Amino acid sequence: MKQLNYQKVQIKLRNKFLRSGVKLIGPDTIYFSNDTKIGKNVTIEPFVVFGSKVKIGDNVNIKSFSHLENCKIENKVEVGPYARIRPGSVLKDGSKVGNFVEIKKSTIGKSSKVNHLSYIGDSKIGKSVNVGAGTITCNYDGVKKSKTTIKDNAFIGSNSSLVAPITIEQNSVVGAGSVITKKVKKGSLALTRALQTEIKGYKRKIK
């Protein structure tokens, strides 16, 4: 009986959003909460799940297999596919959160991008920031959680680890593959990679 009532509620919610002009692709696969709020000109692709307290602005595209809960998505934002937006997160106007990205209790600033395979937790990201693939904010040391701040126009190279608490100042660059543990000053490049070594004529031992 509970399952039947749940399905009836979902049908009612889907029809409500369809009537309001929301574009639902594969509506039978999309699940809403009673308090979901959606703006104008929004497209939602198949297999998207909305937890409680989700507010979606205008001109938003939410791609397949994304999960959103207790978060605010502003205008002209793209989410997914396979993105998870956890409680306490805000995606500002024009931002993008791409495939296999998890955002937890963080703000992604206007026109900033976290496109691939990244974890952003307990963070504040400014405007026009690019976060490269595989970037992790190391927010938990086993005892407490700490914050990461990335200011406007910063560029975070792929496969970087930002060990919180930490601040990346504006217009700065973190080189790919770096583990950053100290504040990065405005307009500077931070690198922690070891120099590449090449041994000529090397032959791998075979058993």
List the beta bridge partners of residue 108.
91, 125
- 67 tagged catalytic: no
List the beta bridge partners of residue 43.
23, 61
Distance of alpha carbon 166 from alpha carbon 65, whole angstroms: 32
The tokens 């809403």 sit on which residue?
32
Contact in structure between 143 and 160 (CB atoms under 8 Å): no
For residue 1, with 0-12 CB atoms within 10 Å meaning exposed, 13-18 middle and 19 or more buried, which class applies?
A: exposed
22-60 tens-digit pLDDT: 999 999 999 999 999 999 999 999 999 999 999 999 999
- Specify the pairing of strand 43-44 against strand 148-150: unpaired
Query: Which class is 2-190 in CATH?
Result: mainly beta
Residue 131 backbone dihedrals phi, psi, to 5 degrees: -110, 115
Instruction: Give the strand order in the sheet containing 54-56.
Output: 37-38, 54-56, 71-73, 89-91, 107-108, 123-125, 148-150, 166-168
Q: What is the pLDDT of residue 114?
A: 98
Whether the model pTM is above 0.75? yes
pLDDT tens per residue across all 207 residues of the chain: 566 688 999 999 999 999 999 999 999 999 999 999 999 999 999 999 999 999 999 999 999 999 999 999 999 999 999 999 999 999 999 999 999 999 999 999 999 999 999 999 999 999 999 999 999 999 999 999 999 999 999 999 999 999 999 999 999 999 999 999 999 999 999 999 888 889 999 888 887
Q: What is the pLDDT of residue 193?
A: 86
- Where are the domains positioned within the chain? 2-190
For residue 156, with 0-12 CB atoms within 10 Å meaning exposed, 13-18 middle and 19 or more buried, which class applies?
A: buried
Contact in structure between 27 and 45 (CB atoms under 8 Å): no
Q: Find the helix or strand (DSSP H, E) in which 17 lies.
A: helix 2-19
Distance of alpha carbon 46 from alpha carbon 68, whole angstroms: 14
The catalytic position among 53, 55, 76, 116 is 116
Distance of alpha carbon 27 from alpha carbon 118, whole angstroms: 28
Q: What is the pLDDT of residue 78?
A: 98
Q: What is the pLDDT of residue 6?
A: 87
The tokens 């978060």 sit on which residue?
71
Burial per residue of 100-131, b for 16 or more beta-carbon CB atoms within 10 angstroms, e otherwise: bbbbbbbbbbbbbbbbbbbbbbbbbbbbbbbb
